[in-house]
Structures are given as C-alpha cells and as structure tokens.
Amino acid sequence: MLTPDLWLTASTGWEVQRLDYPLDTLESEVRSALQVVAGSGDHVLIFCMVDTSAVEPCWQLLNSGFFPVDIRISLESTARTHHQEHSHLVRRVNPADREEVLRIAESSFQFSRFHLDPRIPNDIADRIKRRWVESYFDGTRGDVLYVAYLRGQAVGFLATMITSDRQGEIAVIDLIGVDRNARGLGVGASLVSYFEKEWLDQCRVLRVGTQAANTSSIRFYENQGFRVRSSEYILHAHCENGKLIR
C-alpha cells in the first residue's frame, strides 16, 4: 500500500511515501498504515492521488488524516489546431544552459502541490523544482529539455517525457517554466508550439497536467488546443516525531 519515493526523499530531506489506494481499501487499514510510517522518521510526508469521481475513498482519506493540496487537471491534444510562428528562439538545451535554466526552475512556481502545501516551506518546494529539471541535465529523468531565449537570455524551459499505452506513444509536458520577468511575452506559447511541432507526428497524443488553482494555466493550454481529459485529488499527510499532524 505504501511505496517509498526515494527521489522526493532525497530532494526534501524528509522521508516521503506514496500511498496507492485501491478503492476497496478500508479506512482502518489506511489509519494503521499511517501509524506505522509515522514512527519511521522525524518528518514523514505521505501523498496519495485519487480520481475526483471517487468521493467515498477521498472522504475516508480525509478522515484518516490526509488533506487536499491540489486538484490535478490533465489535458490532451491530438491535432494541430493552429500554427504559431516562434517569436522566441527555442532549441534543445546544452550544458551551457544549465545554471540559467535551473535558476528559472527554482524561482518560477507557486501553484505546484509542494508550494500549495502550507506545511512545506517554500525553499524546499523551490528546491524540488530545481532538482526536477536538474535530473534532465543529468540524464536521470525524462527525454528532452527545451529552452527559450529572448535577446540572448534564457527565459523559459519545457521538459518532455515520452510514455506509452496500448494505443501508442504519448508525449508529456513534464514541466514548463517561464522567468517571472518574461511573462506575458509569449514565451510559454513558443515552447508549447515547438513541443507540438517536434512530437505531434510521432506520438498519438500530447498530454500535460496543471493545477485547478492555476486557472491562467488551464486557459493557456486550452488556447493552445488542449482539452481537459481527467482530474484527480492530490492529498498529503504529514507526521512529525511519530505523530500524525492534524
């Protein structure tokens, strides 16, 4: 039921566990699992993802000590709905881009589930995003990382992960970030347009996830031709010194 998330454990400095929650799981079983993991470290973060249609399981998780931090919205695109000329230089990253792109990654987010969780300090949430992109440079996550330039300055990035299902390959926007000082200039649109151009003919669908709290992001992707496919609650629980924090 509980699976260690070693990457998040290394990134946060806490023990992090993922709860995989079958819909027939009893609330008492969840409580027992939380009690066991609560005593395994000074600070333990447990997270769980549940489809928004699964109201009863979500209620059981809330009763067990979880709280909602995010509603993840998944969007997809299967056809090139428009063609946008790139107003910014977009290309695949090279090692020389590393520090500028990592700077953007650790300073550009406010609506991720880590930033929305009031029990996670912002410096830890920022570090998670930095290490997320750092793993692309190190070759330990994802497939392609793109960077956007404006007047010779890196102003945004898009991380791409290729996955698949029974119907074929799926190109996923794993993470996208734009420098705060370059927002409203079409940087994000240029990155998504380039991503679309690179992968739409090779994969059966393009996919991206964002947060319900980030309404501007949802509107942005809809303007790029993406449509909402599904949604899920993301729930967190924190334990400190052997006790579940309520």
The DSSP secondary structure of 136-195, one letter per residue, reads HHTTSS-SEEEEEEETTEEEEEEEEEEEEETTEEEEEEEEEEE-GGGTTSSHHHHHHHHH
In the chain, pLDDT over 70 holds for what percent of residues? 92
Residues 168-214: tens digit of each pLDDT: 999 999 999 999 999 989 999 999 999 999 998 999 999 999 999 99
Domain boundaries, the chain: 2-72+233-244, 76-230
The Cα 69–Cα 215 span in angstroms is: 15
Q: In the CATH scheme, what is the homologous superfamily, with its name and number, of domain 76-230? A: Gcn5-related N-acetyltransferase (GNAT) (3.40.630.30)
Domains 2-72+233-244 and 76-230 share a fold: no
Query: Which residue reads 């992090």 in tokens?
Result: 16
Give the per-residue pLDDT at 88. Answer: 74
pTM here is 0.90
Q: Which pair of structure tokens corresponds to residue 149?
A: 């330039």
Strand partners, 146: 92, 158
Within 8 A by CB and 6+ apart from 68, the residues are 62, 233, 234, 235
> Which is nearest to 170 in space by CA: 140, 211, 200?
200
Structure tokens, 79:
């056809």
Mean pLDDT, residues 59-79 taken together: 93
Is-contact 89 148, C-beta < 8 A? Answer: yes
CATH number among 3.30.110, 2.60.120, 3.40.1350, 3.40.50, domain 2-72+233-244: 3.30.110
Instruction: Tell me the per-residue pLDDT of 12-25, one tens digit each, with 9 for 90 and over.
Output: 999 999 998 765 66
> Average pLDDT for residues 155-176, to the nearest whole number?
96
| Alpha-carbon gap, residue 31 to 2, rounded angstroms | 12
